[in-house]
Amino acid sequence: MTCDEAEILLHALIDGELDAGHVREVENHIATCPHCAAQLGAYRDMQAEIAAADLRFTAPPQLRRRIEAALPQPRIASRRSVLRGFAMGSVVSAMAATGIVAIVLRSDDEQRIESEVVSAHLRSLQAGHLTDVISTDQHTVKPWCNGRLDVAPPVIDLTALGFTLIGGRLDYIDGRAIGAVVYKRRAHIINLFVAQTPNASRSPARTDDVQGFNIRRWRDHGLSFWAVSDISADELTEFSDKFESAMRTNGNS
């Protein structure tokens, strides 16, 4: 790798945008090139200074009021019909990136969806948004979902295993209406989002930390699952383990 290449790619390195292979290449170059190593250090320091400073602005309350006033006023309890009205299907925008860049950048679709999942989780915690159907009975929640989604999420009662089923909800992730099954662990809410995926292969669960929330995601039986909560990563793992094993036992769900 030449210095010219490295001086562009080191920015992608500090931004976490390089795939593993190119991370190694840039690091190998840096190890043998004091000039580029110094550049990398200098930009890392500057990035740290910028990250430590609060450079954001807060929208003034009167601006928020002005925008609110310009929107048609909502009716209470329209959420269900709102969600039913969602257009199905999503368009994945194909980025036409040029040159070497397209190859070295990793896909950030997953990251984006995870951050949408966390936003949906946060929205659900606002008063009156948690559940569209309130029931501790899986035989009530599932038929409710069946009538509203192309693919109903498996609804499994884990109350006996320490996770209380409290209801279901329709939500909106990645441009699609999808089902969310809501569980409670002590005072903590767990939202389990379930969406159909064209990828039928099974993918084992892994945990990510997004904006201070734990997300455990896995794929099975042509469905993608995201469990989101503020409970510890260990407890969330326990949840997903119990859910997966109950799903295998139920067989059909």
Partner 1 sequence: MSGLRTQAARTSPIADETMQFGSSSDDQVRAQRFRDAALPYLDDVYTLARYLLRDASDAEDAVQECYLRALKHFDSYRGPAMKPWLFAILRNVCRAEFARRTHSSITPADELPETAEQTTPLWSEAQETPETEVLRHRDASAIQRMIAALAEPFKETFVLREIQNLSYREIAEAVGAPVGTVMSRLARARAMLRTAWLAEEEQPK
Residues in contact with partner 1 by the rule CB under 8 A: 3-4, 7-8, 11-12, 15, 17, 35, 38-39, 41-43, 45-47, 49-51, 53-60, 62-64, 66-67, 70-75, 78-79, 81-82, 85-87, 89-93, 95-102, 105, 108, 111-112, 115-116, 119, 123, 172, 174-175
Cα–Cα dist 38/84, whole Å: 56
What minimum distance in Å lies between the beta carbon of 17 and partner 1?
Answer: 5
What minimum distance in Å lies between the beta carbon of 78 and partner 1?
Answer: 6
Cβ-based nearer residue to partner 1, 73 or 201: 73
Cβ-based nearer residue to partner 1, 88 or 200: 88
What minimum distance in Å lies between the beta carbon of 20 and partner 1?
Answer: 17
Tally Cβ neighbours within 10 Å of residue 106.
13
What minimum distance in Å lies between the beta carbon of 185 and partner 1?
Answer: 26
Cβ-based nearer residue to partner 1, 62 or 199: 62
What minimum distance in Å lies between the beta carbon of 76 and partner 1?
Answer: 10
Task: Please report, to the nearest 10 degrees, the dihedral formed by the alpha carbons of residues 164, 169, 174, 175 taken in order.
Answer: 170
Cβ-based nearer residue to partner 1, 60 or 212: 60
What minimum distance in Å lies between the beta carbon of 174 and partner 1?
Answer: 7
Cβ-based nearer residue to partner 1, 40 or 205: 40
Cβ-based nearer residue to partner 1, 123 or 184: 123
